[in-house]
């Protein structure tokens, strides 16, 4: 029977034991990189989010909101 793990487990398995430099390289290589990297960034963001106090979460939300207000999304229709 094949072993199955969920996406979170797969990402955590891949990054477990990496140095801070390795983590930075993984994140920087994923930002503006291939869309396949986005789920991994999401798992990393989830870990950080859970560790933030509410005031810091509020600052992150404000920062994201400011960025979203400045951008004009492209058409989702091809």
Token match 């920062």: residue? 63
Strand, helix or coil at 19? coil
Q: Residue length, the chain? A: 78
Tally Cβ neighbours within 10 Å of residue 11: 20
* Inter-residue contact 52 to 59 (CB < 8 Å): no
What are the pLDDT tens digits along the chain (78 aa)? 676 779 999 999 999 999 999 999 999 999 999 999 999 999 999 999 999 999 999 999 999 999 999 988 886 665
Give this prediction's pTM: 0.79
């Amino acid at each position: 029977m094949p072993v199955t793990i969920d996406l979170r487990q797969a990402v955590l398995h891949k990054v477990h034991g990496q140095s801070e430099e390795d983590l930075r390289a993984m994140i920087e290589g994923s930002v503006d990189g291939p869309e396949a990297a986005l789920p991994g960034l999401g798992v990393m963001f989830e870990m950080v989010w859970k560790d933030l106090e509410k005031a810091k979460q509020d600052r992150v939300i404000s920062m994201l909101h400011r960025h979203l207000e400045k951008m004009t999304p492209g058409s989702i229709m091809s």
